Chains A and B, each alone.
Chain A
């Protein structure tokens, strides 16, 4: 076996890119769930973002306009979920799954005629001197801009949830919507805005795939990433920075297992292919059986419909 070919710097750089679409979708869903809403439609919103972003970028020739369009598209689709679950009090689990089904079909219809089209390129960010720093430069400073945007969103969400008044309102709504309502907070408005934020983030994650990572439009191209994002929110026990660590852990194992295969390590490939899922479960088990158990609780009102009496 030849381990000399494993360059940790290269692995670290690759895992950040591999984790970015998952992270974008996860951080959005995290905000949604912190407001007390469970939206299982992440996959549907991601794929819609992927196609809307792609068509917009191809039409305008500008990948950043594509990104913005993808956010709008994801948010618009999530609004269907918002209306159903918040205004019409429909069941959240079923509505989310229906959203995924609808999104997969809708995106395929929108994308007809875009298969085989090449989108405009996104330039890597030129960070000049920073990218020449030894070790850190290749790991941290030679990516496309969206990698940094995803990290910035995580930090911003963490800061917002922890230190701002509106962030505290969102958490209050998620923990106990009746109490929040009694305090005069507008539960439904907060939740619908959170749902749209989640949709926008998922849309961005999808467009990251179709515009930067792959870049190509094909039906079903998100291939289940939305579900991983959902799992990561739980994995992170609804904490933004942990979501980032979780995404990088998952991306890291994925990249590592592919590298192990590529290096011809004598572990059967099917076990390596399972490893990202099994190790994620294992880490969560270790975390949840430890001392920090209490901090793992889900938002109190998660998944429950809110109806203001009177």
Chain B
């Protein structure tokens, strides 16, 4: 706990002077900072956030001035960069990776006038820390359904990054919905222990295909698995952005992270002076989770079913985790008709019944 009392803090947060010497006038734009875990050019997680930043900048024009720091490792560097951003008169900061949590909370405590938005986190220790997340599992349910209907070997390959709840939730959601339409379906999971390692992801994709998978899903950022699928005649789903171009024949669709509506809404609230900390988890209904255009290889009836599922999730009619669902060990998790509470999902560390293999601990 660093409880520094920075005398300069409050004066600076009022925006007395900007870094670089330029004096700040009364009608200066709202300064919005972003810190990214990767480069905007990663074509994955950070790319999606940066697209939303650019869209927000375009939307607000001169009223808002956005800036970002990329490739910020989680830990002490993040804390320092957040502090320096706050010291330099930034009014609102989006921290776009789970691991920034402790740093965001520590810095927020010292800068009560700066609004902090932390993606995919769970700690809110000050009233100026807001949390936002996306229900990617809704998207995984849809692609699970498509995969279950289309697989001929009854084997789906899944390239996972780290064994954390977010990833496990995605596997379970895809599996449940594949099994619902294909009781014989099996999931093969490979843990890459990395979010981004193209060479290893390619090798993992090959291994999965060699082990009988004819459809690949990934929770890693590179396009390498799609390329392997294209070469080997397997089908695959893209991740985070539309990756059709990389594998036009086999890219069925992709779950797209669309942060734009949320960013515009929150920056607007800050401009209007109505910003308040919240903890939201948006998804398909809010257009935060969207899909790349469906490939023609998905049969028309399957496309229609997928659209139907998307609509029922959008209207709130259907929740992808609706009971009865048992855990892998056979114990009951959700009763018939029971909908999974968010806290169960956010901390999910078990496979559902029917999944083979173990989650590494």
Q: Which residues of A contact B (CB under 8 A)?
A: 5, 7, 10-11, 14, 17-18, 21, 108, 111-112, 115-116, 118, 209, 213-216, 218-225, 254-255, 258-259, 261-264, 266, 268-270, 273
User: Does B224 sit at the interface, judged by CB under 8 A?
Assistant: yes
For residue B96, give the distance in angstroms from its CB to the closest CB of chain A. Answer: 16
- Contact A5/B211 with A218-B196, A255-B206 known, Cβ cut-off 8 Å: yes
- Contact A116/B43 with A5-B211, A214-B202 known, Cβ cut-off 8 Å: yes
User: Does B317 sit at the interface, judged by CB under 8 A?
Assistant: no
- Contact A216/B222 with A262-B157, A264-B357 known, Cβ cut-off 8 Å: yes
Q: In chain B, residues 188-208, which have Cβ atoms closer than 8 Å to a Cβ of chain A?
A: 188-191, 193-194, 196-200, 202-204, 206-208
Residues on B with C-beta less than 8 A from A259 are: 207, 210-211
Whether B206 lies near A118 (C-beta < 8 A) is: no
Whether B196 lies near A266 (C-beta < 8 A) is: no
Residues on B with C-beta less than 8 A from A273 are: 191, 193
Whether B222 lies near A14 (C-beta < 8 A) is: no
**Which among A115, A116, A213, A219 is the interface contact of B224 at CB below 8 angstroms?**
A213
**Which among A10, A216, A254 is the interface contact of B200 at CB below 8 angstroms?**
A254
**Which among B194, B203, B358 is the interface contact of A268 at CB below 8 angstroms?**
B358
Nearest 4 CB-CB pairings of A with B: A115-B41, A258-B207, A262-B211, A269-B360
Chain A proximity mask over B312-332: 1 for CB below 8 Å, otherwise 0: 000000000000000000000
Residues on A with C-beta less than 8 A from B357 are: 264
User: Does B294 sit at the interface, judged by CB under 8 A?
Assistant: no
* CA distance in complex: A115, B243 (Å): 12
Whether A214 lies near B207 (C-beta < 8 A) is: no
* Chain B residue at minimal CB-CB distance from A257: B207
Whether B188 lies near A264 (C-beta < 8 A) is: yes
* CA distance in complex: A264, B199 (Å): 21
- Contact A218/B189 with A14-B203, A255-B203, A270-B360 known, Cβ cut-off 8 Å: no
User: Does B128 sit at the interface, judged by CB under 8 A?
Assistant: no
Residues on B with C-beta less than 8 A from A266 are: 358
Residues on A with C-beta less than 8 A from B165 are: none
**Which among A5, A18, A116, A270 is the interface contact of B193 at CB below 8 angstroms?**
A270
For residue A125, give the distance in angstroms from its CB to the closest CB of chain B. Answer: 14
Whether B198 lies near A218 (C-beta < 8 A) is: yes
Q: In chain B, residues 220-279, which have Cβ atoms closer than 8 Å to a Cβ of chain A?
A: 222-224, 227, 241, 245-246
Whether A221 lies near B222 (C-beta < 8 A) is: yes
**Which among A216, A258, A263 is the interface contact of B43 at CB below 8 angstroms?**
A216
User: Does B77 sit at the interface, judged by CB under 8 A?
Assistant: no
**Which among B191, B199, B356 is the interface contact of A213 at CB below 8 angstroms?**
B199
* CA distance in complex: A115, B41 (Å): 5
For residue B44, give the distance in angstroms from its CB to the closest CB of chain A. Answer: 8
Looking at B41, B212, B213, B356, the one whose CB has the most chain A CB atoms below 10 A away is: B41
Whether B41 lies near A218 (C-beta < 8 A) is: yes
* CA distance in complex: A295, B40 (Å): 48
For residue B211, give the distance in angstroms from its CB to the closest CB of chain A. Answer: 4
Q: In chain B, residues 302-361, which have Cβ atoms closer than 8 Å to a Cβ of chain A?
A: 356-358, 360-361
**Which among A18, A112, A220 is the interface contact of B203 at CB below 8 angstroms?**
A18
Residues on A with C-beta less than 8 A from B207 are: 14, 255, 258-259, 261-262
Chain A proximity mask over B170-195: 1 for CB below 8 Å, otherwise 0: 00000000000000000011110110
